[in-house]
Structure 1
Amino acid sequence: MDLESAARASAHGQAVDPDVLLEASERLCDALHRCDDPAAALAHIDAARLALLGPGLLTVNVDATKPQDPPGEIHLLRAWTSDPLAYPVGGRKRKLRTPWTEQLLVRGEVFIGEGEASLAAAFDDAALIASLGLRGVINVPLMNGGRPRATFNVLGTRAQWQPHEIAAVRLLALVARHFILRLASTLEVADFAGSVRDR
């Protein structure tokens, strides 16, 4: 089974063939070993995501909250995307305190969203997500200094995630963490390394 066939199988909730997993892992390790550009590294990581999980979307948001922002608001800046037409780099979101923001952006816990109702409860742009054929999300917080500084967001066409898929996304997020924090440091995000929501 090649990587394209594996992606189709994974889109239907089937386990990835161990040989395909090995091939995708080796490709990613070889690519990242020689990669110094964060955006290019994320493109390689997204290729592994596609091979392992099938069709979907990968975005990366960084915390752009500033000390002068109103208490209870969290500001996010999109730093990378696999779909620049629907979700362009530079897009900003203002989030108020909700169960989703508390879990992901305050406590730094992974969020698993399955099905349209779950996505609608968490996201203002649920209609756009649905229009792209996406029915589930895994948001992984990336920690720095003990607090969430960015999120690694994978959306897929399945309405329910398998445990091995969640584990794969969490591992890819850890692989991406170094590159994402480097990318964030190059963006015009005020005091990214030290600003946090203490409220």
Structure 2
Amino acid sequence: MVNLANLARLNTLCDQLRHAATPVAVLDAVGQATLDLLGPGLLTINTWQAETGEIGRLWSSDPAAYPVGGKKVKGDTAWTRQLLVRGEVFVGEGDAALAAVFDDIAVIRGLRLNGVVNVPLCEGGRVIGTFNYLTAVESWTGDQITVLRVLGQMALPAVAALAPASR
């Protein structure tokens, strides 16, 4: 059954995107819609540069904990290969799953978050960014993951516009 309230919020988002004058305005609209649709949590939207292994934060729903402009270098891990190389969604549930893949687990724990969905943002068959939502959740539903994938795709043109030119 389709949730009509979610469809109405997505319809509003489409109108906001039509009027968004800048890539940052697009990310602001998609970010707010994500929190409206999925509830409180942490959303970050990042660029990915495979050549340097660097992730750069373009947008954050919690700039105090995860400021825009923050960067990390990611090594070769199972998570990196799944999300950033193969372009497959990563779903993590529970503290142990997050601790296994995130070096900033202390910050995540401090925010009382225990579940993540990382959506790869792809252009031309290559990952150019990620759309990452963390929240307090026992387990993710297929509908939640689908909504996050759709919202990530709505953010993709803005990420492409803001991504470093060397990609």
Which is greater in Rg?
Answer: 1
Check conservation: 2:112, 2:136, Cα contact below 8 A. Answer: yes
Look up the SS of the partner of 2:32 in the other structure. Answer: helix
The CA RMSD measured in Å over matched residues stands at 1.6
Q: Distance in 2 between matches of 1:113 and 1:18?
A: 24
Distance 1:179 1:77 in 2: 14
Partner of 2:64: 85
5+ long unaligned stretches in structure 2? none
The match for 1:28 is 13
Q: Kindly indicate whether the alpha-carbon contact (under 8 Å) linking 1:64 and 1:190 is maintained by their aligned counterparts in 2.
A: no
CA distance in 2, matches of 1:104, 1:148: 8
| Pairwise CA distance, 1:18 | 2.5
| Counterpart-to-counterpart distance in 2, 1:175 and 1:121 | 29
| Residue in 2 that maps onto 1:103 | 82
TM-superposed deviation, 1:23 = 2.3
Aligned twin of 1:146: 125
CA displacement at 1:170 relative to structure 2: 0.4
* In 1, Cα distance between equivalents of 2:133 and 2:18: 23
Measured in 2, the distance between the counterparts of 1:164 and 1:183 equals: 29
The answer on whether the counterparts of 1:38 and 1:183 sit within 8 Å (CA) in structure 2 is: yes
Displaced runs of 4 or more, over 3 A: none
Partner of 2:107: 128
Q: 2:142 matched to which residue of 1?
A: 163
Residues 1:176 and 2:155 are matched in the alignment:
yes
Q: Partners of 1:149 and 1:19 in 2: how far apart?
A: 32
Q: Distance in 2 between matches of 1:118 and 1:135?
A: 8
Give 1:29 shift.
Answer: 1.1
TM-score, normalization: structure 2? 0.93
Q: Number of residues paired by the alignment? A: 167
Report the identity percentage.
47
AA aligned opposite 1:97: D
Partner SS for 1:84: coil
Can you give the 5+ residue segments of structure 1 that lack an aligned partner in the other structure?
A: 1-14, 193-199
